[in-house]
Amino acid sequence: MITEQEIDRLIAWADKYNIPEDNGFEVYHNPGERVPSGFPRDRDKIRTMEVLNLQRLNIKELPVELFSIDTIQYATFYNNQIKFIPKEISKWKNIDTLQIKDNQLRELPEEFGELSKLSFLSISDNPFITFPSQIRKLKNLTFLLSSDIGLNEFPEEIFELKKLKSLSLGYNNIKVIPSHIDSLTKLEEIILLKNDIEIIPKEFFNLAKLKSFDLNDNKIKQIPKEIANLKRITEIYLSNNQIEEIPKEIGELKTLKEFFIWTNHIKTLPKELANIRLTYGINIDDNPIEFLPVELKNYVKKGKIRGLPKDKEIIYKEI
């Protein structure tokens, strides 16, 4: 429970740094409940606060008194200049969602691993020295956003997060997807765009609950035939790679709605694509398409194959 003296110091901190009560950047943690970015001066609001919105306020430091507000469930410090998270963050026993994206953090305190109820964490766009190992202790984490934090390899700590449903590791320098990626059995979405990945291991396609994966902007040359195992997949993003061929097994993905594979080295498409509905289609822009199977003529008429050359007639062939 926060004390009156701590509330006094928080109000003084907000006044000293000219933190407004409302700077116009709101969040909606609960349906219909607008929480503006800023810090209130009303003592009752401070005492019972569940949502703390301190985004885009040019904050450089966090007072330890903030963490005495033990009712906080959702907190965002997005887009500030914070370099240090106090160890007192461990007092936030009820925190469920924490966004510390786009700051100047190089490490997290050891006590960070005590946030046992945390289910959503965004640490993207920070200059971490290494991946914060404390995250492995957050056993209830289901969403982890760790893009653009200078990673050179896939963090092993992530494999201890057995409840993880969504993982973002884009805009790093990861070269290898570990073969035990399939141990993350609850994963539904994985984002690995803008890395240096050359091979998708066949174990990747054992992720039975996967609905979406983004491997745009890598160095991938081949799509393994095991892609057929993704029986729940709805979205595939493989644009800007070095892929020359789409395997015929793509036609077994009955749930696939959207497929982006522009800017590769693809010369044709498998006729098996006609076996699936592809609600939103396939984008093959900037590929050296030479011809299409006749089975896909109807797809072209319906506009489901986007990015075909407009300056020449489409050639259809029996395969």
**Token reading at 306:** 């986007």
Q: What is the C-alpha separation between 255 and 216, in angstroms, rounded?
A: 20
DSSP secondary structure, 31-73, as one string:
TT--B-SS----HHHHHT--EEE--SS------GGGGG-TT--
Report CA torsion sign: 47, 51, 55, 61. positive
The fold of 216-319 is: 3.80.10
Average pLDDT over the chain reads 95
For residue 143, report the phi and psi dihedrals to the nearest 5 degrees: -125, 125
Backbone angles phi, psi at 59, to 5 degrees: -80, 135
Instruction: Tell me the pLDDT band of 40, cut-offs 50, 70 and 90.
Output: very high
CB contact burial 281-299 (16+ within 10 A = b; e otherwise): bbbbeebebeebbebbeeb
Sequence letter at residue 79:
N
Report the SS3 class of residue 6: helix
DSSP notation for 129-183 = SS--GGGGG-TT--EEE--SS--SS--GGGGG-TT--EEE--SS------GGGGG
Residue 151 in this model has a pLDDT that exceeds 90: yes
What is the percent of the chain where pLDDT is above 90?
A: 89
Q: Which of 64, 62, 91, 90 is nearest to 76 (CA)?
A: 62
Structure tokens at 10: 């928080």
Q: Are strands 166-168 and 143-145 parallel, antiparallel or unpaired?
A: parallel
Tokens of 296: 């896909």
Average pLDDT over residues 206-225: 98
* pTM for this prediction: 0.95
Per DSSP, the three-state class of 96 is coil
pLDDT value for 312:
82
Polymer length in residues for the chain: 319
How far is Cα 137 from Cα 108, in angstroms, rounded to an integer? 13
Please report which confidence band the pLDDT of residue 158 belongs to, taking 50, 70 and 90 as the band edges: very high
CATH topology of domain 1-174: 3.80.10
Proportion of the chain above pLDDT 70, given as a percent: 97
Give the tens place of pLDDT for each residue, 73-113: 999 999 999 999 999 999 999 999 999 999 999 999 999 99
Question: Given this model, what pLDDT does residue 319 score?
Answer: 82
User: What mean pLDDT do residues 295-305 have?
Assistant: 93
pLDDT of residue 31: 58
Summarised one tens digit per residue, pLDDT across range 113-149 is 999 999 999 999 999 999 999 999 999 999 999 999 9
- pLDDT over threshold 90, residue 35: no
Query: Which three-class secondary structure state does DSSP give residue 236?
Result: strand
Q: Start-end ranges of CATH 3.80.10.10 in the chain? A: 1-174, 216-319
Higher pLDDT, 23 or 305: 305
